[in-house]
Amino acid sequence: MGGVLEGVRVLDFGRYIAGPYCATLLAEFGAEVIRVEKRDGSEDRFVAPVGEGGEGALFLQVNRNKKCITLDPMKPQGQEVMRRLVATSDVVVANLPPQTLRAMKLDYESLKEIKPDIILTTATAFGGPGPWSDRVGFDGVGQVMSGAVYMTGKGDPPYRAAVNWVDFGTALHCAFGTLAALIERGKSGRGQVVEGALLATALSFTNATLIEQAVISANRVPTGNLGQTAAPADIYRTSDGWVLCQVTGQPLFIRWARLMGEDHWLSDPRFADDIKRGDHGPIVSERMARWCAERTTQQAVDTLGQAMIPAGPVLSPQQALEHPHIRATGFMQDVDYPGLPNPAPTARAAVRLSETPGEIVTRPPTLGEHTDRVLADIGYDADAIAALRRDGTI
């Protein structure tokens, strides 16, 4: 495939998002990634199905550029296959609970016996050490325990985000950690464990709010879309939709006040800094709401954009797909997959390298698509592969 990680082999035992997307990012920059699935398909393959075979939208997003084999690692023959795979690999990605890693012999001590310089990248729900270390959880658990959900919406009920920002944030941290571990191994020859946790990610993203609470006991409560530490910061109705505007910092506020024709607010002590503007947010937002209501969404975002004030339209998923800027940037790449009625618009890695860019080269694999090829690469002949298939190992 080429790329900065060419020559790095990754075994992906990950499920859902944190592990698989970490491995996808490595694959996008050139690593050979082998996804290992259950014989009848792992459960994350079928979330939000969109294809004839039941493959889901999430699977299509986070498994491009990979090979796929099926394997039952709990069988003795499966353990031998796994040992051979580990012996030829640089990284094992497995966002599984510690007890599951031990049962599958994917824990670091077991892996080191096979390949002393192996890197194990893992992610759990809660991290450790701690009383909840062995518990399982999904993205929403991190959201609710970090303070983020408490501060979202208007409080009754609280709202979690519809997108899995904790999972994807954990994948990003794990990919970063894996790259750091590969650099260290290049210097010292040592492998190590790279450990992410959903709760750790959520706490890091919410950290400023937690710092504010610990230091000054702000005791903030949710206020919907209305910002609390600057203004205007809200979502406003236009004549044909909605627009978000966020003004933080004095230079932006000066530009906004002059655009609104409220120059006298620049000397008003109520609006002297971000915190004071946040404290008087309803006043500032009422002015912005009147301005937006007199304009279409396009007029509002164009005028604000020309004034160098951060703003954007609230888009439906279909509108996001059709937005001219999103289309022009090439952020999304259409990827075909067997059985899909339409290509899947797949987001590329959200970082660009000028000299060695990542790329989506191959579609996500069908179940077990590369089993025979991968096993042949590690020394199994056709008869041995057929025997493994007959006994249910692959």
DSSP β-bridge partners for residue 244 = 235, 312
Alpha-carbon distances of 130 from 102, 134, 323, 393, rounded to whole Å: 18, 9, 46, 36
Task: Work out the angle at residue 308's Cα, subtended by the Cα atoms of residues 303 and 311, and round it to the nearest 5 degrees.
Answer: 65
Q: How many CB atoms lie within 10 A of CB 264?
A: 9
- The secondary structure element, H or E, covering residue 86 is helix 76-87
DSSP β-bridge partners for residue 67 = 34
Reduce the secondary structure of 256-322 to three states and give it as a string.
HHHHHCCHHHHHCHHHCCHHHHHHCHHHHHHHHHHHHHCCCHHHHHHHHHHCCCCEEECCCHHHHHH
Task: Work out the angle at residue 177's Cα, subtended by the Cα atoms of residues 113 and 346, and round it to the nearest 5 degrees.
Answer: 110
Please list the active-site residues: 167
